[in-house]
């Protein structure tokens, strides 16, 4: 800035010594003295000194623009500019009727203008959410949204009905879930009886089980006595009150998928 003022003062003194120099104004009426103007004026009156000063100012202007551009880029790279947050995910299953959900955004710049090229990254935001169940669904003690259907259907028919509500057959994947389902049946049905389709399907005899929801502890089992039988057509999971350790309890057994049974649906809101 000091150099710029020194040059400007020199230009002013030089112009005072040149009697036939004309003042040029912009449309707003303000006098303009930039490098290009001085070069053109020097050409017009044949002053090499004025041309030299004009070119010096032009070089200085170019350096100032380059420096400002570099500083702006560095500041943008430092700030890691982010996009707007995306939509919240669905509320995950959790205990005591509460769950968590998340959203994401992209931050940083994938550009060679920054000193690093790996600045672009995804940031996540999490919050606690209250699981509100849809109409006709009941929230269990641990936050499961369940609905009972006392209309006998095959396993495929039952799963199709659950999918109409954007859900699946209930997945029993823990002691906590099993307790909730048992209490739900007792509340809605009131008897220790009934054959209920629950989630669990395999494609071949004795093969691995597959489920509609991807959750933790999918290897959890609660078999009754002498279960599973692993028969050639026992490809679906049923839940009913059956023999267990000398008494009876709600237990799983593998069964043919065509058996008409009641069923319990689960949605994750």
Q: What is the pLDDT of residues 85-101, one digit of tens each?
A: 777 776 665 555 566 77
> 200: closest CA among 239, 165, 227, 164?
239
Among the ranges given (106-110, 132-136, 198-202, 248-252), the one the predictor scored with the smallest mean pLDDT: 106-110
- Residue 205 DSSP SS3: coil
User: Residue 192 has what pLDDT?
Assistant: 67
Q: Which of 37-51, 64-78, 129-143, 223-237 has the lowest mean pLDDT?
A: 64-78
DSSP-derived letter for residue 210 is B
Cβ 265 vs Cβ 167: under 8 Å: yes
Per-residue pLDDT of 99-139, as tens digits, reads 677 888 877 655 556 655 555 678 888 877 666 788 889 98
Does the predicted TM-score (pTM) go above 0.75?
A: no
Overall average pLDDT of the 57-79 stretch: 67
Rg for the chain, CA atoms, rounded: 39
Q: Which of 3-7, 131-135, 253-257 has the lowest mean pLDDT?
A: 3-7
Q: Which has more confidence, 49 or 70?
A: 49
Give the span between the Cα atoms of 138 and 170, in whole angstroms.
13
**Which residues partner with 122 through β-bridges?**
106
């Amino acid at each position: 800035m000091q150099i710029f003022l020194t040059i400007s003062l020199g230009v002013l003194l030089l112009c005072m010594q040149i009697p036939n120099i004309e003042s040029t104004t912009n449309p707003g009426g303000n006098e303009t003295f930039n490098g290009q103007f001085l070069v053109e004026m020097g050409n017009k009156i044949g002053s090499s000194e004025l041309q030299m000063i004009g070119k010096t100012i032009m070089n200085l202007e170019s350096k100032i623009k380059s420096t400002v551009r570099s500083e702006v880029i560095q500041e943008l790279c430092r700030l890691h500019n982010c996009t707007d947050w995306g939509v919240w995910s669905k509320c995950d299953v959790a205990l005591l009727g509460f769950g968590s959900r998340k959203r994401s955004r992209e931050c940083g710049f994938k550009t060679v203008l920054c000193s690093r090229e790996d600045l672009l990254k995804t940031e996540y935001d999490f919050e606690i959410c209250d699981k509100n169940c849809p109409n006709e669904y009941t929230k269990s003690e641990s936050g499961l949204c369940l609905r009972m259907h006392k209309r006998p259907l095959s396993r495929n028919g039952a799963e199709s009905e659950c999918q109409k509500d954007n859900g699946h057959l209930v997945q029993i994947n823990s002691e906590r879930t099993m307790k909730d389902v048992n209490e739900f049946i007792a509340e809605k049905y009131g008897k220790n009886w009934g054959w209920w389709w629950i989630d669990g399907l395999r494609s071949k005899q004795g093969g691995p089980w597959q489920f509609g929801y991807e959750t933790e502890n999918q290897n959890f089992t609660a078999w009754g006595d002498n279960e599973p039988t692993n028969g050639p057509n026992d490809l679906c999971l049923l839940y009913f009150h059956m023999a267990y350790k000398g008494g009876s309890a709600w237990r799983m057994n593998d069964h043919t998928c065509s058996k008409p049974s009641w069923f319990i649906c689960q949605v994750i809101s």
